[in-house]
Amino acid sequence: MFKDDNINVVLNRCENSNTMFLGWFEANNNSIEAKDLTYGEFSRKFVWMSKEKEWKPRKKGYNIGRLTYIPPGFGELYYMRILLTIQKWCLDYESIRTIDGKMFETFRRLAML
């Protein structure tokens, strides 16, 4: 990013960029193998292809995944991280906050159950 870049170019670049996290939603949507994995477990069976910006099934070996530490003071982000160690087969942010068909208003409300 350069200081002279047009704001619309910068925003478009970010909006069209897939991240590992958003790619996890997409992989969950496209792969039945993903349904039994939390975000932290995902790298055991899948590998992130940085050029393609997508998760592909791992052909051999395994990897131990880890989530970035989030301090409790970060509020909703902290509770979302907790849920990412529990929730499986999430297709979007709402599915992270959903259990037994009931969607909770916030990540905190579900994490505090």
* 17-42 tens-digit pLDDT: 789 999 999 999 999 999 899 999 99
1 located within any domain: no
- Report how far Cα 85 is from the mean position of its chain's Cα atoms: 11
2 located within any domain: no
Smallest CA-to-CA distance from 26 within 55, 52, 59 is with 55
Has residue 74 got a pLDDT over 80? yes
98 located within any domain: yes
- pLDDT > 70: percent of the chain: 85
Which residue range is the domain that position 47 belongs to?
7-111
Query: Can you give the pLDDT at residue 10?
Result: 55
Domain count for the chain, please give it: 1
Has residue 5 got a pLDDT over 80? no
Banded model confidence at residue 13, pLDDT cuts 50, 70, 90: low
42 located within any domain: yes
* CB-based contacts of 96, cutoff 8 Å, min separation 6: 80, 83, 84, 87, 90, 107
Task: Please check whether residue 43 is in contact with residue 36, taking contact to mean a CB–CB distance below 8 angstroms.
Answer: no
Has residue 16 got a pLDDT over 90? no
34 located within any domain: yes
pTM more than 0.95: no
**In the block, which residue shows the tokens 């990540």?**
107
The torsion of the CA quartet 40, 43, 49, 55, rounded to 10 degrees, works out to -80
59 located within any domain: yes
